[in-house]
Structure 1
Amino acid sequence: KMLTYYTGLESMAVFNLVLDHIKHGLTANNQRLNEFQKLLLCLMKLRLNVPFTDLGYRFNVTCSTASIIFRKVIMLLEHMFKNLIYWPEREALRSTMPRSFFNIFGNSVAVIIDCFEIAIEKPSNLKARAQTWSSYKNKNTVKYLITITPQGSILYISDDWGGRVSDKRITENCNFLNNLIPGDVVLADRGFIINESVGFHCATLKTPAFTKGLP
């Protein structure tokens, strides 16, 4: 349970499997942390979002070193896992569509989009601080557009955007829309005012009734 609390992983077997795939990129001379500690530091940051200053004290390194290690491990994890996120063939999506969605949309392939917003430490750079300020969250954040299937699989994750950027702008300026084909249905809450952009690809935007009128 302690491992799951700090890392989100269910067992040491999973932790060691991930470590085996990335440790070649973590080996370096004259560093205070070994490969195990570097991965643990990164996963703790992802899981708990503790400040780098806190991680520095825990691992007996400077705040800047903790930040550098985190970015290095993140790049290795991205390289390892990026191929697991892809857009399946439409027929594969149709054949496994939950009955509740099929009853509503028939043979149309429905995808669900939302922006995932993550709180970050306040940047020291004033421009970055302004770009990441989210008036909705009242804190500095980064945002990602995430697309999932009704089955729960992740289809697409955008690059990171500053928290001040609207959901509409992110959707229209990442390459998500290029994945749509005629007949697709996009489900989104009322904050996504992208009817014309989705319609340009001969797809349809639908807003579930339970999200209407919500802030």
Structure 2
Amino acid sequence: MKNLCPVHKCNFGTRSCVCEPPFKLFPFPTENKNPDLRRKWMIQINRIDPITNKNWNPKSHDRVCSNHFEECAPTEKCPYPSVNLGHNVKTTVRPSRKMILKHNIQKKSKSVTENTLGYSTATPYIDFVKKSSQSDHCYTGNKDKKTTGKLQSDTNHTDNTESDNTYAGKWDCSPNCACIGCFTKQQTIHKLNSQVIYLQQQLHSKSTKNMIHTTMTNNIVKDDSKTRLYTGLPNADVFDRLNKHLLPRAKRLSYWSGSKKIVSTKANRVFKKSKKFGPKRKLSVKDEIVMTLMKCKVGMNSELLGDFCGVQLSVVSQVLNTWLKFLAYELKPLIHWPDKEITKETLPHVYTSIAQNLRCIIDCTETYIERPRDMELQAQIWSDYKIKHHA
């Protein structure tokens, strides 16, 4: 026998039934959209997983009945389940924090003039001058009376006349006074003067050293013959063009700082700040180019390059490791590599029978380099022909 609705006498669960359901089911808030509300629902329900014996974690198919809400549904006033849960729960909702608003504060008008303010602040200092002058320069009773009368007359004179410097009091010390205050003042002045002289000497030596290194670099790239001798470039004009081409990207270089870190040959992206990150550059871009080219062309020792440019050996190693990779990346398009068809057309007849697919002939060129610390590297780069370390 079918169950009939006691009110409308209709079948349960059929389309013809117009009865409202006895309750509604509400899903848990999702972890992505509202994790705090989901966690609060779990705390209110206070259910323990029977398998793991830990706090129960609801799944996607779990629902909460409307009978567990005060208004039969989650609302802004009562968003959590709090009724018929089998335990007492707190239904109070913490109010949201008030927003902090900015208010325009009116500026207070200056009710006290500068002269009045200066006079009021100078009064304690004048009293201090009176006491110190009396204690330092009064040795007998007669002198005490004379000095006191003189101080009173000076104070009255100061009160009646307006002074440009209202913060200063009347001081009765002679030019060759030997009191404690004057002696301490002279010691402080001599100490500060010696510090100023020392700092001026240090600043002058720094500027002179930088000027010497800058002058040496400019002298190298000023003359075509010296430019060709030290850098290997044909003339100074080519060096200036190379410097202008590399300058924008060289300002944003990430310098080499060890074998574990990667040297970036690409310039960093600029967002807000355009200046270079990290410590201040000790050499200019022009000096670093000259240092790298001199290392490649002349093969100078790194310590000699450091003395030449006025930097330490670690800075020379850092600059060379960075600039060698940077120049290889930037000047790679200058290497001319002809097509295979052009190479076959211009191939000499001597090689047509020997090697038809010949593209290039690599000459055995050896460049003198410094001796490395690793013994295996020393054995690999040793040349028995020239009895030196070559690469």
Question: TM-score higher than 0.5 here?
Answer: yes
Match of 1:61 in 2: 311
Q: Runs in 1 of length 4+ with deviation above 6 angstroms?
A: none
Could you tell which deviates more after superposition, 75-84 or 31-40? 75-84
The offset of 1:140, in angstroms, is 1.7
Structure-2 change in CA distance of 1:11 and 1:67 (3 Å): same
Q: Does structure 2 retain, via aligned residues, the 8 Å contact 1:25–1:76?
A: no
- Choose which of 4, 7, 21 in structure 1 pairs with 2:245: 21
- Choose which of 202, 223, 229 in structure 2 pairs with 1:5: 229
- Choose which of 346, 353, 368 in structure 2 pairs with 1:119: 368
Give matches, 1:158-177, under 5 Å: none
Where 2:363 maps in the other structure, the secondary structure is: strand
Identity %: 28
Give matches, 1:39-58, under 5 Å: 39-58=289-308
Q: Which runs of 5+ in 2 are unaligned?
A: 1-224, 252-275
Q: Which structure has the greater CA radius of gyration?
A: 2
Partner Cα distance (1:109, 1:129) in 2: 36
Match of 2:166 in 1: none
More strand by share: 1
The offset of 1:6, in angstroms, is 1.2
Deviations along 1:87-132, one digit per CA (max 9) or x if unpaired, are 43222123445xxx23x34594543233322221111233322332
Q: Does structure 2 retain, via aligned residues, the 8 Å contact 1:8–1:47?
A: yes
Task: Establish whether residue 133 from structure 1 lines up as the match of residue 382 from structure 2.
Answer: yes
* TM-score between the two structures when normalised by the length of structure 2: 0.32
Structure-2 change in CA distance of 1:71 and 1:25 (3 Å): farther
Partner Cα distance (2:248, 2:384) in 1: 41
Q: Does structure 2 retain, via aligned residues, the 8 Å contact 1:22–1:76?
A: no
Partner Cα distance (1:10, 1:83) in 2: 19
Opposite residue 140 of structure 1, the aligned amino acid is H
* TM-score between the two structures when normalised by the length of structure 1: 0.56
Task: Establish whether residue 36 from structure 1 lines up as the match of residue 281 from structure 2.
Answer: no
- Choose which of 313, 328, 333 in structure 2 pairs with 1:78: 328
The offset of 1:51, in angstroms, is 0.4
Opposite residue 76 of structure 1, the aligned amino acid is F
Partner Cα distance (2:380, 2:372) in 1: 10
Partner Cα distance (1:95, 1:138) in 2: 41
